[in-house]
Structure 1
Amino acid sequence: MCKGLAALPHTCLERAKEIKTKLGTLLQKPDSTIDLIIPYPEKPPKAQKPSPEEALQWRDSLEKLLQNPCKFTSPCDGSPPLFPRPLGCSARAHPSLPPDGLASFRSFLRSEFSEENAEFWVACEDYKKTKSPVKMAEKAKKIYEEFIQTEAPKEVNIDHFTKAVTMKNLVEPSPTSFDMAQKRIFALMEKDSLPRFVRSEFYHELIK
């Protein structure tokens, strides 16, 4: 992958400029802004952890882990989520009170300084469900600047070819623009992070 502006090929730099120009043009249309990441609430809703039977299924399926449904004992409060829930629940995750598989896994990744992988995966899931072209362009720009561009605040570890394809896709944003990058990060978490997670205290607490 590209490392530093000095090392970027001229075509890579031109592509990055083209993406920002294209997305900037699309965002000139009036619409509400979209924030992918919202701070944790001071008082998270009361929650219960998943059953040991559910947690045991996660050992062999990262997809089940990431899509584990919300288990809040109190009704979802309707406030904006930190991450969009796969099943539409709007409750927020909290690092000291993991209510589901995704929150537990994110807590583990945070301890390994690789939480950006889960954040990117969930952001892509939310992006693919976006209907409005303007909102899709807004989210594409945020995801690119947050996770894809060189030296991004939460740059994910994708190879140069995947980054180049993603940048090309973003010239004309579509629901599949981040598919290749998302699959690469999913494979990385499945191969490296999931085995360590199931050996960790985070997981052992869930299956007690």
Structure 2
Amino acid sequence: MCKGLSSLPSSCLEKAKEMRVKLSHLAETHHKHKVQDGKTLQDLETLLNNKSGLQAFRSFLRSEFSEENLEFWLACEDYGVLPSNLQKIKASSIYSQFINPDAPQEVNLDAETREALLSVMDSPCADTFKRAQQGIYTLMAKDSFPRFLRSHHCIEAIKAF
């Protein structure tokens, strides 16, 4: 017959309670920080700005075969701080890697955004990928991030905070 939780050492019970509290807090924070008008989750931003959290999220996305979304978002972050003389080379690299229909890590963008990017590739500016980056961020925030919160990968991120 099962003895239940009382048969576990108290240190295990305390650790389990502590983990449950952390997970509950993260889940509550996830729901409380939704911003109105279709904007994305503040918690995803916090996760992306934390080295261990970013690694855990990357690992989760890799397990779901959607790591390209994060890689694209990170490439756009790097692009946004480049000096203007390096933007054309990096823009071409980002387009080839993520936007082009034959790209090795093609991200899921609507046709309008994809066409708009193609039309500005000859003279890119700091905001060239803003719309596409925001679209992918929204996709991650509404789709991948909630699943991440329910995954075992989330425990790794919680430990880092």
Name the amino acid aligned to 2:131. Answer: M
Partner of 1:85: none
Which structure has more relative contact order (CA 8 Å, sep 6+)? It is: 2
Q: Which consecutive unaligned segments of at least 5 residues does structure 1 have?
A: 1-51, 71-99
Partner of 1:56: 26
Task: Kindly indicate whether the alpha-carbon contact (under 8 Å) linking 1:166 and 1:180 is maintained by their aligned counterparts in 2.
Answer: no
- The Cα offsets for residues 70-98 of structure 1, whole Å up to 9 and x where unpaired, read as 4xxxxxxxxxxxxxxxxxxxxxxxxxxxx
- Count of residue pairs the alignment pairs up: 125
Alpha-carbon distance between aligned partners in 1 of 2:158 and 2:142, rounded to the nearest angstrom: 21
Q: What pairs up with 1:150-165 in 2 under 5 angstroms?
A: 150-165=101-116
Matched, 1:197 2:124: no
Alpha-carbon distance between aligned partners in 2 of 1:206 and 1:128, rounded to the nearest angstrom: 26
CA displacement at 1:137 relative to structure 2: 1.3
Q: Secondary structure at the match of 1:162?
A: helix
Partner of 2:4: none
4+ runs of 1 displaced by more than 4 Å? none
Task: Kindly indicate whether the alpha-carbon contact (under 8 Å) linking 1:109 and 1:115 is maintained by their aligned counterparts in 2.
Answer: yes
Distance change >3 Å, CA 206–CA 185, structure 1 → 2: closer
CA displacement at 1:132 relative to structure 2: 4.2
- Root-mean-square deviation (CA, aligned residues, Å) is 2.1
Q: Secondary structure at the match of 1:207?
A: helix
Q: Which consecutive unaligned segments of at least 5 residues does structure 2 have?
A: 1-21, 34-42
Matched, 1:178 2:129: yes
Counting aligned pairs with the same residue, the percent is 49
Alpha-carbon distance between aligned partners in 2 of 1:204 and 1:126, rounded to the nearest angstrom: 28
Alpha-carbon distance between aligned partners in 2 of 1:67 and 1:206, rounded to the nearest angstrom: 11
Q: Which has the larger share of helix?
A: 2
Partner of 2:118: 167
Q: Which moved more, 1:109-118 or 1:135-144?
A: 135-144
